[in-house]
Amino acid sequence: MANNDHGHGEHPSFFQEGGKGLMSWVYTLDHKRIGLMYLVSVLVMFGVGGVMALLVRLELFSPGKTFLTAHQYNQVFTLHGAIMVFLFIIPAVPAALGNFVLPLLLGTKDVAFPRLNIFSFYIYVMGAIIAIAAIVMGGVDTGWTFYTPYSVGSSGKVIWMVFGVFVLGFSSILTGLNFIATTHKLRAPGMTWSRMPLFCWGIYATSLIQVLATPVLAITLLMLIIERAWGVGIFDPAKGGDAVLFQHFFWFYSHPAVYIMILPGMAIISEIIPTFSKKAIFGYKAIGMSSVAIAIIGFLVWGHHMFVSGQSAFASMVFSFLTFLVAIPSGIKVFNWTATMYKGSITFETPMLYALAFLFLFTIGGLTGIFLGALSVNVHLTDTYFVVAHFHYVMMGGTVIAFYGGVHYWWPKMTGRMYNEKLARLACLLVFIGFNVTFLTQFVLGSKGMPRRYYDYLPEFQTLHQVSTVGSWILGLGFLIMVGYLLASLKVGAVAPANPWGGLTLEWQTSSPPPLHNFEKQPNTKIGPYDYGVPLPPKKPGTLEGAVHGTSS
Amino acid sequence: MNILLQWAPFMPPAASHNAGNVDNLYGFIFWLSVVFFILVIGPGAWFVYKYRLKPGESHKPTPRITHHLGLELTWSIIPLLLCIVIAVWGFWDFMALGVSPADAEEIYVTGYKWGWRFEHRDGTKELNELHLPEGKKIKVIMTAEDVIHSFFVPDFRVKQDLPPGRYTTLWFEPKGVGEHQVFCTEYCGDGHSGMLAKIIVQPKEKYEEWIKVGTPLAQGETLEDRGKKLYSDKGCATCHSVDGSKLTGPSFKAIYGNPQPLIDGSNVNVDENFLRESILNPQAKVAQGYPPVMPSYQGALKEMDLNALIAYIKSLK
């Protein structure tokens, strides 16, 4: 991040202004530095979780023992899931990118509570250390879902891991709280709610879920700890508990958490597509409101993880209907993004390639969700590789791809450097191909009946497993190249201009990287975030904004 | 390319009377998804191609199209209606899968780490194999001994979790005769992927013969061969290796004829009687260094099966 020669900017960047040395980072209250510290942390965690994923795929290259024992394999897939969910994907977009760009997009100098912000980062670090301690001291083999009663009796360091996740939850709650307050109180003059960039809408909706749902997870995990440590029978039927109760509690958080993961991804896409299409976003209100709708309905669908758990048929019916209801706002977003490109002036820099990959992958992820929402079909597909493929298309093809789109989109703003565009496009292509090879095959495996979390499998599944494993290598290579050129850009990358992509949101009105207080002068909010091109002639004289209408021009 | 000719691509053979209904909806969603995928990605790809900035050109102003109510209502309401159709259809078949008919034959199923115990009404017990007569409706009443397991028969399109401490049920009516794979689909620990069973649907006469004497030896099959098959079918392999490696239980390699230390500190000579006792009443003499977790196979092995297993263990020198 050394940016000593800030050639274009007259003002020193926050790298210089905030002081030098380790302590300037440890004690910082600057949202940009906190965002970057989060970014480095989540990228490291993505690396660790990614290595676990490669090990899982490698072990599955052949049936029986390839190089891990069943117990080691179970630990590795558990850690892959737990690290990716709790240490990477939940904080990735909101805490890392959100921290850096949300105040910039809102035209303010920092978040509402800077001290709370650095506190939440240190809570994250503490949670991560506890979780990693659990791994080092013997690992966990319960799956990231910690289902009871297995997790009550399992030999691993379940209490440590669960306590780590418990601590991480507070980081998530505090970040959400901070962003809600920031969005309400610190928008630049002239930025009304309806002129707020869609990224902010997405992060706002996400923050609401973080604040409202995470405490439920915290309570659930605490009960699990109490049960394991003191033998109180809450979830273990042998002690008079209810095994399925845990699933209700767990998914009451973890399904909304799916939206904690995907909404910020969608929010990034809503920024990238208009910028690289040089076109006003189509259906601003629909996209913004659908984020809020998803956040609300997302609280009412947790039972769709439990159609075969033994919950009542009536409950299953209600959850199935509500699940289909939540599909509609997601569909609206996809249609709106596509329509935004209509009559655009589209260029294909790396962030746009990620956005297009997102559209492709998320559409598959969403459509395969329809299979799983339908009760009778769900019975066959649930807990098979079909589910594994589906949520990877949503979580990785959706959120992770969007996250890397965002990293590439704001990298010049964050570091003041441009990365090698050719290598970046190559890496994006490899990630896209590798991802599809890895996970399309898993839909087929799942339909054929291959159960998930299997160390060993029947010989008839071998070919598809091998194709999937080869795909994971292509995927890994793509990410390896990405690490290379991103690190290289910090040393040898061209100096980034203030607005490399021609964006209209406020972060592009300040230098790259921005000064400590973000803006030298009050940012101009007269131009809306998506006011590209020319307004259409009004249909009726006298109605200007609202009547800009129609696709017929 | 025969995928394009199938209504329900990638699904396993439909071997129960309800499987066809599930496949109908699966196929409907599959092909509807293909259509919607084309409807989304098609225009997207076309816009990307048509409205790309060509080399050497500079950006021209784009029309500021902010929304279009009619279009937005269309792509909200049509998917909503289709979703309602799918939800009702899915629920309809789900109820058919869930409500077992009154004349169904009842089988009790217990899942444990890591195997399946099946109990017929006449007292016949089986492990990891369920023999059924052709042409019967079957209702399984299930529970688990330790943690949650899940009973999944892909060919029948049925799956149901077995939480410990309560019963869950499902039913199916197999079509014709044949063998069908059973998987455990709720993660249950190290032996999860080995927690398999077979459902063997036989013509009535053959089924009755099996009830009486078990499966007779095939032409040229030795007792050791049968023992080897039982070793993998009955779940012995989950905990006992044949190559000397240490699993949950002692390895069978060279166990016969050698002294075996027990947890009470004594030694026992491994002979036919010790093997027989250890299979039928495993807790009587527990080998040192191993947890006392083996379930009893009393009633689950016919007399000949026991002989075959012991013969196989003896052959592992």
Q: How far is A293 from chain B (nearest CA, A)?
A: 13
- Tell me if A411 sits within 8 A of A419, measured CB to CB: yes
Q: Which residue of A has its CA nearest to B182?
A: A449
Q: Is residue B150 part of a domain?
A: yes
Size of interface A-B (CB pairs under 8 A): 291
In a domain, A224, yes or no: yes
For residue B131, the domain's CATH number is 2.60.40.420
- For A347, other C-beta atoms within 10 Å of its C-beta total 15
Residue B118 maps to a domain: yes
Residue at which a domain ends, from B182, B213, B244: B213
Cα separation, B37 vs A369, whole angstroms: 13
Give the pLDDT confidence score for residue A2 in this predicted structure: 43
Scan for tokens 């809020």, then name that residue: A292
Cα B115 vs. chain centroid, distance in angstroms? 11
Q: Is residue A8 part of a domain?
A: no
Range of the structural domain that residue A384 is part of: 28-509
Q: Is residue A525 part of a domain?
A: no
CB contact under 8 A, B67 and A313: no
CATH code of the domain containing A146: 1.20.210.10
Q: Tell me what pLDDT residue B296 has.
A: 86
Share of residues in chain B with pLDDT > 90 (%): 61
Q: Do B62 and A374 touch (CB under 8 A)?
A: no
Total domains in the fold of chain A: 1
Burial of A539 (0-12, 13-18, 19+ CB in 10 A): exposed
Q: Do B67 and A282 lie within an 8 Å CB cutoff?
A: yes
How many residues does this entry show for chain A? 553
Residue B238 sits at the chain A interface (C-beta within 8 Å): no
pLDDT of B179: 96
B34, B36, B40: best to mutate for the A interface, most A CBs within 10 A: B40
Q: Chain B partners of A313 at a C-beta cutoff of 8 Å?
A: 94-95, 98
The conformation of residue A280, written as its DSSP 8-state character, comes to P
Q: How many domains does chain B have?
A: 3
Does residue A490 belong to any structural domain of this protein?
yes
More confidently predicted of B173 and A18: B173
Tell me which residues of chain B, numbers 109 to 148, contact chain A at a CB-CB cutoff of 8 Å.
146-148
Instruction: Look at residue A550 in the predicted model and tell me its pLDDT.
Output: 35
Q: A523 in a domain, yes or no?
A: no
Q: How far A164 CA lies from chain B's nearest CA (Å)?
A: 22
Three-class secondary structure of residue B299 per DSSP: coil
Mean pLDDT along residues B244-270: 89
Residue-level pLDDT at B12: 95
Query: Would you call B10 an interface residue with chain A, using a CB distance cutoff of 8 Å?
Result: yes
Q: Which tokens belong to A359?
A: 């559209």
Residues with Cβ within 8 Å of A426's Cβ and at least 6 positions away in sequence, in order, are: A481
Indicate if B196 and B275 belong to the same structural domain.
no
Phi, psi at residue A468, to the nearest 5°? -60, -40
Q: Cα A423–A426–A428 angle (5° rounding)?
A: 110
What residue in A sits closest to B151 (Cα-Cα)?
A308
Per-residue pLDDT tens for B96-149? 988 999 999 999 999 999 999 999 988 888 889 999 999 999 999 999 999 999
Residues B73 and B143 in one domain: no
| Integer Cα distance of A168 and A247 in angstroms | 20
Residues of B in contact with A282 (CB under 8 A): 65-68
Residue that terminates a domain, selected from B168, B195, B213: B213
> Residue B278 pLDDT > 70, yes or no?
yes
Q: B88 and B109, same structural domain?
A: no
Q: Which of B124, B134, B239 is nearest to B191 (CA)?
A: B239
Which pLDDT value is given to residue A543?
Answer: 44
DSSP B256-293: TTSEEEBTTS-EEE--HHHHHHHHH-TTSSPBTTS-S-
* Local structure of residue A93 (DSSP, 8 states): I
CB neighbour list of residue A87: distance below 8 Å, 6 or more residues apart: A41, A42, A45, A49, A127, A128, A131, A168
What's the pLDDT score for residue A553? 32
At residue A539, the pLDDT reads 59
Spatial separation of the C-alpha atoms in residues B198 and B214, rounded to whole Å: 15
Domain assignment present for residue B130? The answer is yes
Distance in Å, alpha carbon of A501 to nearest chain B alpha carbon: 12
**Do B227 and B242 sit in the same domain of this protein?**
yes
- Please answer yes or no on whether A373 and B87 come within 8 Å at the CB atom: yes
Residues of chain A in contact with residue B67, where contact means CB-CB under 8 angstroms, are 282-286, 549
Contacts of A334 in chain B (CB under 8 A): 40
B154–chain A Cβ distance below 8 A for any pair: yes
- What per-residue confidence (pLDDT) applies to A533? 84
Q: Where are the beta strands (DSSP E) in A351-463?
A: none
- Is B122 inside a domain boundary? yes
Burial A125-143 (b: 16+ CB within 10 A, else e): bebbebbbebbeeebbbbb
Instruction: Show which of residues 44-63 on chain B sit within 8 Å of chain A, judged by CB atoms.
Output: 44, 47-48, 51-53, 59-63
* B218 occurs within a structural domain: no
Q: State how far residue A46 is from chain B, nearest Cα, in angstroms.
A: 24
Q: In terms of Cα–Cα distance, which of A502, A509, A523, A519 is closest to A409?
A: A502
Q: How confident is chain A (553 residues) per 10-residue block, as mean pLDDT? A: 46 85 91 96 96 97 92 95 95 95 95 96 96 92 92 90 95 96 95 94 94 94 93 90 92 92 95 96 92 91 94 94 92 94 95 97 96 96 97 96 97 96 97 97 96 95 97 97 97 94 94 92 89 74 42 33
* B26-64 residue pLDDT tens: 999 999 999 999 999 999 999 999 999 998 888 888 999
CB atoms B193 and A378 under 8 Å: no
CATH of the domain at B30: 1.10.287.90
Same domain, B124 and B189: yes
Please give the C-alpha separations between residue A452 and each of A387, A456, A458, B37, in angstroms, as whole numbers. 8, 10, 13, 26
B chain contacts of residue A455, beta-carbon cutoff 8 Å: 190, 192-193
- Residue B44: which domain range? 2-98
N-terminal to C-terminal alpha carbon distance within chain B? 50
Q: Based on the domain organization, do B189 and B259 belong to the same domain?
A: no
CB contact under 8 A, B164 and A243: yes
In a domain, A421, yes or no: yes
- Asked if residue B121 and residue B85 are part of one domain, the reply reads no
Indicate whether B5 pLDDT > 80.
no
Residue A91 inside a domain? The answer is: yes
Same domain, B205 and B244: no
Interface residue B2 vs chain A (CB under 8 A): no
